[in-house]
Amino acid sequence: MRLILVDVDGTLTLDRDTYLLELDAIKALREIQKSGFKVGIVSGNSYPVLRALYTYLGFNGGIVAENGCVVYYEKLYEVCEKINKDLIAEFERLFNVKGSWQNVYKCCDLTFTPPYLTNEMVKWAKGRGLYIRTSGYAIHVSKSKKGKGDGVRFLISLLGVSKGDVIGIGDSSTDIEFLEEVGFKVVVGNGEEEVKKLGNYITREKSGKGVVEFVNKLIKGDIDGGIRGAGI
């Protein structure tokens, strides 16, 4: 089996500062599903939000939610340690940020906006044995050191796919640990520079249009240096 895992915000959207989906990217991914690939989503968003999205988009390769802490494929799994939600009020008060409306639906990875990380926040998290990152959309606080990496590894093993048969597509530093777990790493053209350094393929186009560019090349068999068994 061949699997494509796609980040959501900044990757399936029109750009890195909007929630509007690039509909052509959805179309291209549905098309590649018809040729035998499975398509899954890997995101910092909460499970209910992603489960609805996954259902309405018609994908079939599973869900990694809460930055790797929650995994769904036929069944729901919590992969990380739960976080104490009293931290929401403390973090909001100390740093003048706002907890996401999705925090009530989360177990393990809490989010705050605006998405700008400060040294003081990093120090605060370290002092509490927590990990803190930014996706460009929000600040994420959890007990998970490996972020999306833990969830992606878990999903891949649930599906029984080998790492070499998995393609990952992302945009932000929260995708680094995710991309480290897959055989072929794609970064959208407007992605963060530190993520692009890891990429086997950097799209010319930004966000969702970049997904369209890559998937079309994959369908045509136009990608060099391919991944094992992926037909590229």
Ligand X SMILES: O=C(O)COP(=O)(O)O
List active site positions: 7
DSSP per-residue codes, 28-57 = HHHHHHHTTEEEEEE-SS-HHHHHHHHHHH
DSSP state of 190: T
148 is in an annotated binding site: yes
Residue closer to ligand X (CB basis): 44 or 99? 44
Residue closer to Mg ion (CB basis): 6 or 230? 6
Position among 2, 4, 10, 201 found at the interface with ligand X (CB under 6 A): 10
190 binds, among Mg ion, ligand X, none (CB under 5 to 8 A by kind): none
Residue closer to ligand X (CB basis): 44 or 183? 44
Using CB under 5 A as the binding rule, whether residue 172 contacts Mg ion is answered as yes
Total residues contacting ligand X by CB under 6 A comes to 13
Instruction: Output the CA–CA distances (angstroms, integers) from residue 105 to 11, 119, 180, in the order listed.
Output: 23, 28, 28
Does residue 38 contact residue 224 with C-beta atoms inside 8 Å?
Answer: no
Residue closer to ligand X (CB basis): 175 or 223? 175
DSSP bridge pairs for 27 = none
- Considering the complex, what minimum distance in angstroms separates the CB of residue 80 from ligand X? 15
At 232 the three-state DSSP class reads coil
How far apart are the C-alpha atoms of 200 and 229, rounded to whole Å? 16
Using CB under 6 A as the binding rule, whether residue 26 contacts ligand X is answered as no
Position among 43, 142, 144, 207 found at the interface with ligand X (CB under 6 A): 43
- Dihedrals phi, psi of 93, to nearest 5 degrees: -70, -45
How far apart are the C-alpha atoms of 118 and 189, rounded to whole Å? 26
150 binds, among ligand X, Mg ion, none (CB under 5 to 8 A by kind): none
Does residue 11 contact residue 188 with C-beta atoms inside 8 Å?
Answer: yes
Using CB under 6 A as the binding rule, whether residue 190 contacts ligand X is answered as no
Residues in region 97-156 near ligand X by CB under 6 A: 111, 135, 137-138
Q: What residues make contact with Mg ion under the rule CB under 5 A?
A: 7, 9-10, 171-172
Residues of the binding site for substrate: 148
